[in-house]
């Protein structure tokens, strides 16, 4: 009976390890690069527009990038994937709040006709806020669609938030194709540029609301801040 018990325990241990470590792991360097670019963009904003101190950006970089590296090095262990998920969602809230606060200050300066910002500063700040908007929403889309990178890559049956054209034409797509961070980056860029869905269609209410929010932030940045900056530079 002892050898039967040992065999059962061994099989349960193997099953647990297999469930904790998915067979397909999405590379983490694209989202990690997006995080670094995002923090760099926030640092180029004028001093009185920056919401967070310099040291806070370094702390954010360490806190967000370490779980991503741990997921990659551990082979996608479930514990690190859960940590990465919550840290990424928290980072979206913090970075998004910082970008919104900066945009609010910029719009207030434009409306009041403040001379604190030159036309060039307005223009570069609007670009930084717009790109930040694209990156933070791309990270969010990448993290929430179909339960996250590994559930998506391993077909764990989570309901999709977006329908990509490759899913409707599998014969024209690479075998085993699954959306990766680049696809969500294009989704975020298209939403911020066209103010509407382009190739990927939102299937859930939260996907539609998030795209509406991203489009609204992008529209305010382009119409109010960037347009005013171009007008000042042109004058």
Confidence grade of residue 176 (pLDDT, cut at 50, 70, 90): confident
- What is the pTM for the complete model shown? 0.85
178 located within any domain: yes
16 located within any domain: no
Range from 102-116, 139-153, 213-227 carrying the lowest mean pLDDT: 102-116
Q: Which residue from 121, 96, 100 is spatially nearest to 110, judged by alpha carbons?
A: 121
227 located within any domain: yes
Range from 8-17, 22-31, 116-125 carrying the lowest mean pLDDT: 8-17
What are the φ/ψ torsions at residue 96 (nearest 5 degrees)? -65, -40
What are the φ/ψ torsions at residue 25 (nearest 5 degrees)? -120, 125
189 located within any domain: yes
217 located within any domain: yes
Tell me the residue range of the domain where 42 lies.
25-234
Average pLDDT, the chain: 82
Task: State whether the Cα torsion 193-196-199-203 is positive or negative.
Answer: positive
Per-residue pLDDT reduced to its tens digit, 75-93: 888 899 999 999 999 999 9
Per-residue pLDDT reduced to its tens digit, 179-226: 999 999 999 999 999 877 788 899 999 999 999 999 999 998 888 777
166 located within any domain: yes
- The total domain count for the chain is 1
Q: Which residues contact 116 (CB under 8 A, 6 or more apart)?
A: 48, 109
Q: What are the tokens at 24?
A: 């397909």
Q: What is the CA radius of gyration of the chain?
A: 21
Confidence grade of residue 74 (pLDDT, cut at 50, 70, 90): confident
Q: Which of 31-40, 57-66, 132-141 is most confident?
A: 132-141
15 located within any domain: no
Beta bridge partners of 35: none
43 located within any domain: yes
């Amino acid at each position: 009976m002892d050898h039967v018990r040992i065999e059962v325990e061994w099989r349960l241990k193997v099953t647990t390890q297999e469930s904790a470590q998915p067979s397909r792991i999405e590379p983490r360097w694209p989202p990690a690069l997006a995080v670094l670019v995002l923090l760099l963009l926030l640092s180029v904003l004028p001093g009185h527009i920056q919401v967070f101190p310099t040291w806070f950006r370094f702390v954010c970089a360490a806190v967000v990038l370490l779980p991503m590296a741990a997921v990659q090095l551990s082979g996608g262990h479930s514990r690190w994937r859960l940590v990465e998920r919550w840290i990424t969602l928290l980072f979206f809230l913090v970075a998004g709040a910082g970008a919104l606060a900066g945009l609010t200050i910029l719009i207030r300066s434009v409306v009041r006709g403040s001379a604190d910002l030159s036309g060039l500063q307005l223009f570069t700040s609007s670009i930084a806020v717009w790109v930040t908007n694209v990156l933070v929403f791309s990270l969010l889309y990448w993290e929430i669609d179909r339960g996250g990178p590994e559930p998506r890559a391993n077909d764990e049956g989570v309901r999709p938030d977006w329908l990509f054209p490759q899913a409707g034409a599998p014969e024209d797509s690479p075998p085993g194709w699954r959306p990766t961070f680049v696809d969500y980056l294009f989704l975020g860029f298209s939403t911020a540029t066209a103010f509407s869905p382009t190739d990927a269609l939102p299937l859930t209410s939260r996907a539609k609301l998030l795209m509406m929010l991203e489009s609204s932030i992008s529209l305010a940045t382009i119409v109010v801040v960037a347009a005013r900056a171009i007008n000042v530079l042109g004058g």
